[in-house]
Amino acid sequence: MNRNSRLKILTGGLVLASALILFSCSGNPDVTVKELQDEIKYLSSDSLRGRLTGSDGDSLAAEYIKNELASVGFKPLSGDGFQRFNVIRGIVQGKTNSLAITGINFVPEKDFMPLAFSTDAKLESEVVFAGYGFSINGDSLKWDDYKGIDVKGKWVLILRADPETDNTKSAFIPFSGDRNKTMVAKDLGAAGVLFVSGPLYDSQDAFESLSTVDYSVGIPVFRIKREVADQILSQSKSSIAALEKKLNETRKPGSFETKAVLNGVSEIIRESAGTRNVAMVLPGEDELLKNEYVIFGAHFDHLGMGGPGSSSRAVDTIGVHHGADDNASGVAMMLELAEKFARTKGSHKRSIICIAFTGEELGLLGSKYFAENPGIDLSKVNAMINLDMVGRLQETNVLQISGVGTAEGLKDIIYSTTDTSLIKLTLSDEGYGPSDHSSFYGKNIPVLFYSTGAHLDYHTPADTFDKINYPGMVTISSLVYSIASNLASSSDRLKFKEAGPKAESGRTTRRKGVTLGIMPDFAGNVKNGLRADFVTPGKPAALGGMKKGDIITAINAKPVSNIQDYMFRMGQLKHGQTISVEVLRNDKKEILLIQL
């Protein structure tokens, strides 16, 4: 081989090596099936054990997401890229719980246990039996267990459930919950409540585990065994079984003083755990517009191992709830779009922020926390794009997009960047919904929420990576990229427009009740009240003068300390009724008269 040939080969080799180095640095910007599959397979793996908020799996997922974003050029939005906060991970009994009547000390966990909405308190007082604990005065249903008895400052013993537990359409259902009954008793002056299950309702008389979602009602509340209740009733020569049978047959209240004095101490410990959002930013390519933002968001938490209080639909199954579609799919798509923006020149004049939220399954905790503590000027955000459950595109090729009415012209942008011969769109104007975009909509930010919809594996261990439609995700990614690139590069800013919730809550109820027409702060960011994160124009609250950000502290002079108190108070009201609502507005108390 001559010298010239060697030089040609050497030169060619250097050119090839340079090309390979350049390619390895720039990378392939295309979203691929393999990359999506690798990311979803890891995030939904057994090793992460369902990514329960505050767990080791939750932490591993956060580290993985941050590293993936950093590897393509994203920088921490602030600090190290993690936004840390604490959540209530569990509720356990304290060591000081006690319950006793003369000569008998009952055993915690065996004979009694506090309920999760109990408060830490001591109470020694008489016990009054108040039947099912109803105080109902409806048009078609009337039942008052408190008529003719005085419960002020006393323990109230109440049967759980109602006389029609086998009737799924019973008129008693809205009034039969333990918490609702406790609120009724408290409003009437009771200082403590004891719940017992009759044999017709629960033959096993089993205790349920403590829930993590209950707020304190302000008085001690215990669940007691039937044997304990019968000891309390011994002087009245009655029993829980006999009283339940009588009430169910006669459908008439039968309350009385038991003559027993009960001494009780309640202690609840709310265990907190540290968790974190991931927030990373890719600077914009335009010197002026880089100070504005387009946000991509996706939650990475899920239900852990399932079990009671976890929202699992497989109620009898303890096992890894993999959450491949919900929402490893959204995270993977966000990561791949982040890479595409980072490696595609001219794709984003505005800065791109990617936020992986934790705590979504517990009530949008992560996105609420970011919206309250953003570290940026939220008025500079052009749009927030939320990806949640985007992995199950069906044969019909239907993609759901919500929030298209939250900015003028947003719907036109979507249609102009979408090939509707490849994918069919189902659009909704509303900016409020059961996912993290709601937290941004409440801050007057235009939002788009992408989803391929629910399925039978939703919130079960069967939501696994092998059931994801990866080619479908590639198609959706292309659509989202086109829209996001437009929003990130157009010289025109979106103009926010209210497209408020038609319903007050996405939560199901067994009867139609009245609504104020607000979007409540489900995350409980405000203590001792409930903030209205959005007030729907034309609805009772707006017509009565309520404003976004008002903190509701009382309805008809009865206290509202949290979302559950609020839902209970609203459940007692009727259409056409005029109510007084006390609110805090800029730290000043206001009283509004609102007609429902």
Residue 27 confidence (pLDDT): 62
Cα–Cα nearest to 525, from 443, 431, 450:
443
Cα–Cα nearest to 536, from 505, 570, 499, 483:
499
Residue 445 confidence (pLDDT): 97
Displacement of CA 158 from its chain's centroid (Å): 30
Cα–Cα nearest to 524, from 85, 187, 92:
85
Residue 210 confidence (pLDDT): 84
Tokens 């096993």 belong to residue:
204
State whether the Cα torsion 517-521-524-530 is positive or negative.
Answer: negative
Q: Determine phi and psi for 570, rounding to 5 degrees.
A: -65, -35
Calculate mean pLDDT across residues 463-468: 98
Residue 308 confidence (pLDDT): 78
Q: Determine phi and psi for 371, rounding to 5 degrees.
A: -60, -30
Residue 311 confidence (pLDDT): 87
The pLDDT tens digits of the residues spanning 142-195 come to 999 999 999 999 999 999 999 998 898 899 999 999 999 999 999 999 999 999
The residues, any chain, with a CB within 8 Å of residue 260's CB and separated by 6 or more, are 101, 126, 127, 231, 232, 233, 234, 235
Residue 501 confidence (pLDDT): 57
The pLDDT tens digits of the residues spanning 216-246 come to 999 999 999 999 999 999 999 999 999 999 9
Residue 527 confidence (pLDDT): 86
Asked if 218 and 119 touch (Cβ cutoff 8 Å), the reply is: yes
Cα–Cα nearest to 155, from 127, 175, 182, 176:
127
How far is residue 491's CA from residue 415's CA, in Å, rounded to a whole number?
Answer: 19
Residue 433 confidence (pLDDT): 87
The pLDDT tens digits of the residues spanning 494-507 come to 999 998 653 343 33
Displacement of CA 68 from its chain's centroid (Å): 26
Taking each helix axis from N to C end, the angle separating 470-489 and 33-43, rounded to the nearest 10 degrees, works out to 100
Asked if 162 and 175 touch (Cβ cutoff 8 Å), the reply is: yes
The pLDDT tens digits of the residues spanning 522-557 come to 777 788 999 998 888 888 999 999 999 999 999 999
User: Confidence band (pLDDT; 50, 70, 90) for 100?
Assistant: very high
Asked if 314 and 245 touch (Cβ cutoff 8 Å), the reply is: no
How far is residue 436's CA from residue 274's CA, in Å, rounded to a whole number?
Answer: 20
How far is residue 257's CA from residue 255's CA, in Å, rounded to a whole number?
Answer: 7
The pLDDT tens digits of the residues spanning 124-151 come to 999 999 999 999 998 899 999 999 999 9
In three-state form (DSSP H/G/I as H, E/B as E, the rest C), the secondary structure along 427-486 is EECCCCCCCCHHHHHCCCCCEEEEECCCCCCCCCCCCCHHHCCHHHHHHHHHHHHHHHHH
How far is residue 567's CA from residue 520's CA, in Å, rounded to a whole number?
Answer: 10
Residue 421 confidence (pLDDT): 84
Amino acid, single-letter form, for residue 581: V
Tell me the residue ranges of DSSP E strands in 154-219.
155-159, 192-196
Angle at 132 between CA 131 and CA 138, to 5 degrees: 115
Q: Are strands 578-585 and 558-559 parallel, antiparallel or unpaired?
A: unpaired
Residue 420 confidence (pLDDT): 84
What is the set of domains in the chain, with CATH numbers?
37-90+272-489 (3.40.630.10), 95-266 (3.50.30.30), 518-595 (2.30.42.10)
Calculate mean pLDDT across residues 484-499: 96
Residue 23 confidence (pLDDT): 39
Calculate mean pLDDT across residues 87-104: 92
How far is residue 297's CA from residue 270's CA, in Å, rounded to a whole number?
Answer: 29
Farthest CA pair distance, the chain: 115
Residue 538 confidence (pLDDT): 86
Residue 14 confidence (pLDDT): 39
Does the structure show a pLDDT above 80 at 2?
no
The pLDDT tens digits of the residues spanning 303-345 come to 999 987 788 998 788 999 999 999 999 999 999 999 999 999 9
Angle at 497 between CA 493 and CA 500, to 5 degrees: 145
In three-state form (DSSP H/G/I as H, E/B as E, the rest C), the secondary structure along 532-557 is EEEECCCCHHHHCCCCCCCEEEEECC
Asked if 483 and 414 touch (Cβ cutoff 8 Å), the reply is: yes
Residue 3 confidence (pLDDT): 38
Asked if 249 and 315 touch (Cβ cutoff 8 Å), the reply is: no
What does pTM read for this prediction? 0.81
